[in-house]
Structure 1
Amino acid sequence: MPTTPVVSRRRVMAALFTGVACMNIAMAGASTAGVLIATESPGPGWSGVPSAAGVLGTAAGALGSARLVVSHGRRRSLLITYGLGSFGALLAAAGAVTGLFPVLLVGLLVLGLGNGGAQLSRYAAADLYPDERKGQALSAIVWAGTVGALAGPPLIAPAARTADLLGLPGLAGPLLVAALVTAAAAVVSAALPRSIPDAHPRTPETSGSEGFAVAFAQRAVRGPLLAMVAAQVAMVAMMTMSAPQLHQHGHGLDVVGWILTAHMIGMFALAPLSGRIADRWGGRVTIFAGIGTLAVASAAAVAAPTSHTAGIPLSLFLLGYGWNLVFVGGSSLLSTQHRKLQGTVDAVVWSTSALAGLAAGPLFALGGYVLVAVVAGVAALIPLVALTDH
């Protein structure tokens, strides 16, 4: 079996880790700023649209990045997607400054392209290791989001204050920070080797012969994919509406920031534990654990939808970790698939969850945060049918 030199492996892992961390910082601030801008104008019913724009951009970025990987390699793919993402953040900031909501949406869409490239980095990490260590490898890259959890939301308030001092709208600040850190991700990715080593070399001509429809017909692909879609839908819906919920109850950006930090810590900090579970007991067990955790998160939000000290932080933390378990478990099962299929899977996951972002706003306007949490909990349970279908 081919092995990857330890030095090369560490160099690649460090660069991938840093790029993903930067993108998580960028998306945390930009998405929150976009939601709050939409809540103020054009109104709460539009509050899910900025998040949906970023998610759709991520879907397009995952699909395009996978094609770039096959034709030009992972290094060039990341350089292109991160570069586009930085430009998108600047465009979104321009939309915030000028008050042009459509420009903000286009900017968030383009920023999402960079996030799409970052998401596929976990498969690059898995490629470096043998099968029995793939779960740990990809979870290490997912764990990079912990940096975003610790640095992203807390930067929102100071970035807004700095923008105010410069005579700009406060919510333009997080978008400008997003542009800077995404550009930093591109710079770091330039240090990647031109050809990233692969522990299991695969030729696109042989491993990619099946189309996505044929692959989806296979239970080994269908179950993990549906679980990842459902977890993403549940997570996006509740996370997106948490900021408007807190805002409506009189809490400022500082409270929004630390509660989103709790959520993002749940999403990423325990990823190594999820990877160990996946390597030891398998991806299916990991997915089942994640679905159960998502259900508990939904119940906690329903029980205490206005508590900014217990109910909402606990709910969002569990929501994040439930998503993490499903994400790592599903990715470990799909890590041996062809690279184009991996990109298509991510595109399907993110595209579907964009519907959650779009639907979350009207649901919130109709029945408040409780209705959003109930719908999210039900959505998380749906894949149990496919996963238990023998």
Structure 2
Amino acid sequence: MSTPQDIAPTPWQEQDRVRAVQKRTVRILSAAQIVGGVGVGVSVSVGPLLAESVAQSETYAGLARTATTAGAALVGIPLALLAQRRGRRTSLGAGWLVAAAGGGLLIASAVSRSIPLLIVGMLLFGVGSATNQQSRYAAADLAAPHRRAHALSIVLWSTTIGSVIGPNLADPGAAVASALHLPRLAGAFVLATVCTAAASALLWGLMRPDPLTLSRRYQDADAPVDKDTGIPAAQDETGGQKKKDRQNGTVRAGLRHLRRTPQAAFAFVTIVVAHTVMAAVMTMTPVDMSDHGHGLTVVGVTISGHLLGMYAFSPLVGRLSDRIGHMPTIVAGQTVFLVSAALSGMGHGSVGMMMAGLFLLGLGWSFSLVAGSAMLSETTPLALLPGVQGTTDTAMNVVAAVGAGLAGPLMGWAGFGALNAVAAVLVLPVLAFWAVLVRAR
């Protein structure tokens, strides 16, 4: 299979104006990721505490995480279909706005002690996670093939800032709550609501022209060109997309494409497996470390190292993927996963081995998600792209939620080492799929 450097960009992708719009788009997406990601990060640490406080039950602490994950899974495809019809600006802007509405409901639930408001608020707030994830695809819409993974990885890297700041907003939020005469935990969600609303405003106000609709205009060879701007004129409200293309951009058509295109299916499987492996092992690592007597500080440092592996090196991973090819980068990621499973599984309570294993778990996820997402964009026709991307993210969230849910009983029955062994086994189908594709070349 050719590397991205071997794929010649179409002439419009190298136009100065398109490259300028692409750079601006990546900057705006990154800014929205930082601001919105801070809001999403609140739900990780403060969400369960708020749920427990409202419901006066520890059971609801777990329900908060489940509802947020369910919200992200439920809207993956609807957000993609909205992008298909109205463009990325509308889809992502609306996603962050819905998350802000969810934050408002969570504030109301804290004041009224309403469990229904709590659950609905968590579901809506989960839309922010789905929006956060789908933003990476928007960075690739106008990118030339040899820069696609790097553009995507820059937006993914921006998530690092939000993931670090967001979980630490409990104390600043308490000060806000005191000033507004709200329950203590509601203050963090006041900040989260402001952040997600600001992310929506950034995208609605500044991401013009829309990267997806602009790429459609350029790919329509018959579109008339505006003499003043040099941009092919839009033929309808979708940015020049023909009615037949809109009909082809359905979930069913996307699934047919995945069945018929081995490279796209490989990218799909890579993303889903990587997210499942990461979620299952990461979820139970703090429990195992606690069982071995390690305190919250050590656990926190270990999780921070894991997040560092997930996001901090993604620009380097993107450049590597653009240089050597997406498939070799994916295979490298699976190798990292196997080393991670070996270190964590045989750590037996060793802090050093656990830290190294969880860091590599995040790094393997970064290799797989960056290269897999770029490969999915590269191997999918533009008319099908949003639907295929939304289907992939929905599957990623649903399967990972199931994997994380099963990880607890598995560890309780057979131990943390067995959980990592199962994680290593899950990687093998990706490597087998790769071997089949290489053999078929």
Q: Secondary structure at the match of 2:139?
A: helix
Question: What whole-Å deviation, never above 9, does each CA across 1:42-99 have from its counterpart, x for those lacking one?
Answer: 558x876544433332233331221111222221222211011122234345556777
Whole-angstrom CA distance in 2 between matches of 1:175 and 1:18: 20
Whole-angstrom CA distance in 1 between matches of 2:301 and 2:372: 29
Q: Secondary structure at the match of 1:195?
A: coil
RMSD: 3.3
Whole-angstrom CA distance in 2 between matches of 1:263 and 1:115: 18
Q: 2:391 aligns with which of 344, 363, 378?
A: 344
The gaps in structure 1 that reach 5 residues or longer are: none
Give the 3 Å change call, closer, same or farther, for CA 366–226 of structure 1 in structure 2: same
2:99 pairs with 1:55: no
Whole-angstrom CA distance in 2 between matches of 1:388 and 1:35: 43
2:378 pairs with 1:331: no
Give the 3 Å change call, closer, same or farther, for CA 173–375 of structure 1 in structure 2: farther
2:345 pairs with 1:302: yes
- Post-superposition offset of 1:333: 0.8
AA aligned to 2:361 is: L
Match of 1:216 in 2: 258
Name which structure has the greater RCO, CA cutoff 8 Å, separation 6+: 1
Match of 1:291 in 2: 334
Q: Kindly report which structure 2 residues correspond to 1:86-125, keeping only aligned pairs within 5 A, or say none.
A: 86-92=100-106, 103-125=117-139
Match of 1:251 in 2: 295
Q: Secondary structure at the match of 1:127?
A: coil
AA aligned to 2:424 is: G
Q: Kindly report which structure 2 residues correspond to 1:277-288, keeping only aligned pairs within 5 A, or say none.
A: 277-288=320-331
Report the more deviating stretch, 51-60 or 89-98.
89-98
Q: Is the contact made by 1:20 and 1:141 (CA closer than 8 Å) also made in structure 2?
A: yes
AA aligned to 1:374 is: A
Q: TM-score when scaled to structure 2?
A: 0.76
Whole-angstrom CA distance in 1 between matches of 2:136 and 2:104: 26
2:27 pairs with 1:17: no
Q: How many residues align?
A: 386
Q: Is the contact made by 1:157 and 1:257 (CA closer than 8 Å) also made in structure 2?
A: no
- Post-superposition offset of 1:365: 4.6
Q: TM-score when scaled to structure 1?
A: 0.85
Report the more deviating stretch, 173-182 or 161-170.
161-170
- Post-superposition offset of 1:16: 0.5
Give the 3 Å change call, closer, same or farther, for CA 129–49 of structure 1 in structure 2: same
- Post-superposition offset of 1:371: 4.4
Question: What whole-Å deviation, never above 9, does each CA across 1:203-245 have from its counterpart, x for those lacking one?
Answer: 4634738713322212112111111111101111222234445
Whole-angstrom CA distance in 1 between matches of 2:52 and 2:417: 18
Q: Secondary structure at the match of 1:144?
A: helix
Whole-angstrom CA distance in 1 between matches of 2:145 and 2:434: 22
Whole-angstrom CA distance in 1 between matches of 2:84 and 2:255: 20
Report the more deviating stretch, 331-340 or 175-184.
175-184
Whole-angstrom CA distance in 2 between matches of 1:170 and 1:321: 36
- Post-superposition offset of 1:161: 6.0
Q: Is the contact made by 1:274 and 1:325 (CA closer than 8 Å) also made in structure 2?
A: yes
Q: 1:314 aligns with which of 356, 362, 365?
A: 356
Give the 3 Å change call, closer, same or farther, for CA 126–188 of structure 1 in structure 2: same
Give the 3 Å change call, closer, same or farther, for CA 242–181 of structure 1 in structure 2: farther
Match of 1:128 in 2: 142
Q: Is the contact made by 2:18 and 2:142 (CA closer than 8 Å) also made in structure 1?
A: no
Give the 3 Å change call, closer, same or farther, for CA 199–75 of structure 1 in structure 2: closer
Q: Is the contact made by 2:173 and 2:191 (CA closer than 8 Å) also made in structure 1?
A: no
Q: 2:43 aligns with which of 14, 26, 30?
A: 30
